[in-house]
Amino acid sequence: MNVNVREGDTLWYYSQLFDVPLQLVIDSNPKINPENLTPGQTVAIPGYIRHKHTLEKGESFWSIATKRRLPLDGLLLLNKDIDPENLHVGETIHLPLRVEKSIVKGRRKYDYETLVRDLKRLEAVYPFIKKEIIGQSVEGKPLYEIRLGNGQKRVHYNGSFHANEWITTPVIMTFLNDYLVSLTNRRTIRGLSVAPFYDNVTLSIVPMVNPDGVDLVLNGPAPESEYRENVFELNKGQNDFNGWKANIRGVDLNDQFPADWEVEQQRREQAPSPRDYPGTKPLSEPEAKALSELTRKRQFDRVLAFHTQGEVIYWGYKEHEPPETEKIVKEFARVSGYEPVRYVDSTAGYKDWFEQEWQRPGFTVELGKGKNPLSLKQFDEIYQRSLGIFLAGLYM
């Protein structure tokens, strides 16, 4: 919600007027000097939208503010061209409406278009979000990173490395939305105040690493796709792509990282396939390359890659992980009920590469149980069990 600055207004006053943390107001207006507002400037107020209201008989600004528990000066601020002493029935005014519910509806088939739409809506309501394009998929879809927070600790979450594990994206997006609602409404999540997380942690999220693959599983190959004939051939002519893990070129993105990639190459598929083909060389695919470049740029302190399925948390890679990794994974297990598993027989994965390269904690979290793609009937249970992991990733 945008407001126009009046003489004497400050960001601190807006934070008090709308009961929003001052730092969120400051971060929502990065181009504005918070110490020197100018009348007429546009200021974004996070966590609010403008709501049109048609005046009824007997209504006044005071009665509306009292009935709806709105700040009276907020009404005056949003309706500067309206004389509050001369209101008319049928006249339209604007109300500052606090957003208290989730925008993201995660329990549905969640393709790339849905992701982009939700990100735009979240940006509009929570402008302190930083969104950046970190690369493109094979078919040219922008790969998005979302960042929020101002802390020294750098934490990264990602999902949908594998196409038929797409449910990880709405799980991550639901957490992101809940986190934003809690920040702007000064709420707790499971009894934890999230304000310290924002101050102490910079959270990076890539919610969909493999958008081409996700769309293939959910929607089938697009009529205009240059890979349409090829994916049908790799899928043995079948229209059902539920078994597809790879990107649109038939490369498994979580077999693409330079952590003993040669070992994985020898024991995996030797040609493009719906799953388990590591490609011709490490980081040959633009999606994997984009994530590796992001990781080098951000220098994360820990990373969590969300996959399905098995209700396990894989940690450690050939003793490259630091001692603190075990303490963290035990907390993840405590809050989720998932089983921690060390040293699974796997190489060339994102988590493996991160631990080998930086000797910092990395985790692969396998959400839910069953056959991929998991049924949306599991969504609520998956989210509730993973919520503790999302939070512990910030406070541990």
- Active-site annotation holds for 326: no
Q: What is the mean pLDDT of residues 136-141?
A: 98
Domains plus CATH for the chain?
A: 2-98 (3.10.350.10), 112-213+281-395 (3.40.630.10)
Say how far apart CA 239 and CA 296 lie, in whole Å: 38
Position 5 scores a pLDDT of 97
Whole-angstrom distance, CA of residue 5 vs CA of residue 197: 30
Nearest by Cα to 184 from 19, 68, 387: 19
The rounded Cα 320 to chain-centroid distance in angstroms is 28
Alpha carbon of residue 389 to chain centroid: 14
DSSP string, 39-81: TT-EEE-TTEEEEEEE--TT--HHHHHHHHT--HHHHHHHTTT
Q: Taken in order 273, 278, 284, 288, is the CA torsion positive or negative?
A: positive
Predicted confidence (pLDDT) at residue 6 exceeds the cutoff of 90? yes
Report the chain's mean pLDDT, rounded to a whole number: 97
| pLDDT of 84 over the 90 cut | yes
Q: Which of the residues 145, 165, 264, 366 is marked catalytic?
A: 366
Is 12 within 8 Å of 22 (Cβ atoms)?
A: yes
Q: What is the pLDDT of residues 232-280, one digit of tens each?
A: 999 999 999 999 999 999 999 999 999 999 999 999 999 999 999 999 9
User: What amino acid occupies position 281?
Assistant: K
Please name every residue paired with 201 in a beta bridge, in sequence order, or none if there are none. 153
Among residues 302, 354, 299, the alpha carbon closest in space to that of 327 is found at 302
**pTM for this entry:** 0.96
For 186-210, the pLDDT digits (tens) are 999 999 999 999 999 999 999 999 9
Instruction: Sort strands 302-308 and 362-367 into parallel, antiparallel or unpaired.
Output: parallel
Structural tokens at position 263: 């070992």
Q: What is the per-residue pLDDT across 334-374, written as a single tens digit (0 to 9) for each?
A: 999 999 999 888 899 999 999 999 999 999 999 999 999 99
Question: What DSSP string runs through 75-110?
Answer: HHHHTTTS-TTS--TT-EEEEEEE--S-S---SS--
